[in-house]
Structure 1
Amino acid sequence: MGEQSPFPTVLITGASGGIGEAFAHVAAAEGHPLILVARTEAELHRVRGVVIARYAVPVSIIVLDLGKPGACDELANELEARKLVPDILINNAGFGLIGKAAELSRADQLQMIDLNVRALTDLTLRFLPGMIAKGSGGIINVASTAGFMPGPNMAVYFATKAYVLSFTDALYEETKGSGVTLTNLSPGPVETGFQRRAGMKQARSLSRVVPKTAMAVAQAGWAGFKAGERVVVPGTMNKLAAYALRGAPRRVILPVLKRAMGMAKAR
């Protein structure tokens, strides 16, 4: 990736648990200083404490809900005040909701767009020019295998991840030869707090295939990023499902996905 420093600073959003927390361990194990951002202060302090106990790296935390208006400006101001400059950005913050779009809270669904799409886009566009100017660094945008298909009963969530996939693919092409890497990480089912917030059953009930752990997903995403890969879909079965469903006629897959997501809703 043409990094000027052997230890570029990594900023991770949604770092208070799950894949974001796993990324913190993966990056810290290689000596990277960390900037961890999430809305839950207690959990951020927990993650920081565990990381600094295991690895000799500096870890800064910023408590912030990136889905709120003006949050990205606030983050940028805080970074400037602390003289922190991220060399690598991992846009991991996001959430989903399960249910029919017409029945779910409109405000909650719009907030999902604000976090999954607007904040991710804002932070990408803020930091990408500086990375290009330095000719190093890069961005991992965490999407989902949901981005490869429409999702009845999770319509807005699937649509936000389709945006992330499209956006990151385009930026990957735009930045070729710049020394900057853009990688789209699209995991399948993962056992994290995502299911609880979304109102879903746990990941193991969604598939006969054992889901990847958050650590396995982070490791795959980090390895793919370092290899300059455009898209990383951890797990052979996830790859087959994502690309097969993407190419299948929608009149065929929509009823199947509608039934699957309906069955995934926690009762």
Structure 2
Amino acid sequence: MPLNDINQEHWALITGATGGLGLEFCKLLAARGYRLIVTGMNTEKLAQIREEIKQVEMALAGDLTDPVCLANLIKTLNENGIKLEVLINNAGFGLFGDTLDQDTSENINLIDLNIRTLTALTLAIAKEMKARGSGYILNVASIAAFMPCPSLGIYAASKSYVLSFSEALHEELKTSGVHVTVLCPGPVKTGFWQRAGVADNNHFEFAFTPARAVAQCGLQAMFTNKTVVTYGWINKILVLTAQIAPRFLVRVISKKVLQSLKN
């Protein structure tokens, strides 16, 4: 399906839409004629997005880790007769630091958002897409999905789940007309780092990739039914190295790199 062969009858839902990759997904899909439904926690930013992007027809504020909030989102789609053409599961966050020093409730919330919410929303929407015989799902993971990441341990583990789950679902649905793609970006200068608790992320300056280019890469991969996509040659080398190098070596290198953020 060509990227420009889209009319205003097509709907897209983007979670975590208030900044970074989520906002870029909104802009890019709006430019292609999609009618957008966006979610986020920040009501002011959602209102601003709706003002700036005219294709945003619903801006739903709430915490998707709350089962009631998630159920209401799906109920809103059903009650309005909205059949999504595109689902982008972008909402997620990480926590940086020694795992045992982190707040346990925050880590459970991380798991709820990065795993449970993504899974529940994907399954609900994918069933309808399969019945219709068409649809596109893009799940946002990370290059951290390919390696253990001391100091980002639970985040990396959650993204490993997203990677594995998305790959499996891609295979199950590949002949159904439903495209499932997982985007694994490297470091992107967004609000992720501040939320994670990293005061200075300039150590990764050499590896940072622009959010817009990463979002465009993800959409292109989704529309052409690629399974896994990583943007940038540095990140591709890191992923390849993590897959072929001994696990103990990957752990040691990952630990040293992430520990540099504590200095």
TM-score by shorter chain over 0.5 = yes
Return the match for 2:178 from 158, 171, 180: 180
1:81 Cα deviation from its structure 2 partner: 3.6
The separation in 1 between residues aligned to 2:225 and 2:247, in whole angstroms, is 31
Partner SS, residue 208 of structure 1: helix
The separation in 2 between residues aligned to 1:214 and 1:174, in whole angstroms, is 30
1:207 Cα deviation from its structure 2 partner: 4.7
1:201 Cα deviation from its structure 2 partner: 4.4
Return the match for 2:116 from 115, 118, 122: 118
**Residue in structure 1 matched with residue 58 of structure 2 by the alignment:** 60
1:261 Cα deviation from its structure 2 partner: 1.3
**Tell me, which stretches of 5 or more residues in structure 2 are unaligned?**
none
1:246 Cα deviation from its structure 2 partner: 2.2
Partner SS, residue 161 of structure 1: helix
The separation in 2 between residues aligned to 1:254 and 1:207, in whole angstroms, is 22
The separation in 2 between residues aligned to 1:110 and 1:64, in whole angstroms, is 18
**Residue in structure 2 matched with residue 44 of structure 1 by the alignment:** 46
Evaluate the alpha carbon distance shift between residue 202 and residue 12 of structure 1 in structure 2; reply closer, same or farther with a 3 A threshold: farther
**Residue in structure 2 matched with residue 189 of structure 1 by the alignment:** 187
The separation in 2 between residues aligned to 1:247 and 1:205, in whole angstroms, is 25
Matched, 1:26 2:23: no
Q: Identity, % of aligned pairs?
A: 39
**What residue identity is the alignment partner of 2:189?**
E
Partner SS, residue 195 of structure 1: helix
**Residue in structure 1 matched with residue 19 of structure 2 by the alignment:** 17
- Which residues in structure 2 correspond to 1:45-194 (within 5 Å)? 45-52=47-54, 57-194=55-192
What stretches of structure 1 move > 6 A for 4+ residues in a row?
A: none
Evaluate the alpha carbon distance shift between residue 216 and residue 203 of structure 1 in structure 2; reply closer, same or farther with a 3 A threshold: farther
**Tell me, which stretches of 5 or more residues in structure 1 are unaligned?**
none
What is the CA RMSD across the aligned residues, in angstroms? 1.9
Partner SS, residue 87 of structure 1: strand
**What residue identity is the alignment partner of 1:227?**
T
Deviations 1:49-78 (CA, angstroms, capped at 9, x unpaired): 1111xxxx3521111111224332121123
TM-score (norm. length: structure 1): 0.92
2:49–2:56 Cα contact (<8 Å) kept: no
**Residue in structure 2 matched with residue 261 of structure 1 by the alignment:** 258
The separation in 1 between residues aligned to 2:257 and 2:46, in whole angstroms, is 34
TM-score (norm. length: structure 2): 0.94
**What residue identity is the alignment partner of 2:89?**
N
2:170–2:179 Cα contact (<8 Å) kept: yes
The separation in 1 between residues aligned to 2:105 and 2:226, in whole angstroms, is 36
Deviations 1:174-203 (CA, angstroms, capped at 9, x unpaired): 011111100000100001100000012455
**Residue in structure 1 matched with residue 243 of structure 2 by the alignment:** 246
**What residue identity is the alignment partner of 1:44?**
L
Partner SS, residue 31 of structure 1: coil
The separation in 1 between residues aligned to 2:69 and 2:46, in whole angstroms, is 17
Partner SS, residue 206 of structure 2: coil
Matched, 1:228 2:228: no
The separation in 1 between residues aligned to 2:261 and 2:89, in whole angstroms, is 26
How many residue pairs align between the two structures?
261
The separation in 1 between residues aligned to 2:181 and 2:200, in whole angstroms, is 27
**What residue identity is the alignment partner of 1:206?**
F
**What residue identity is the alignment partner of 1:216?**
A
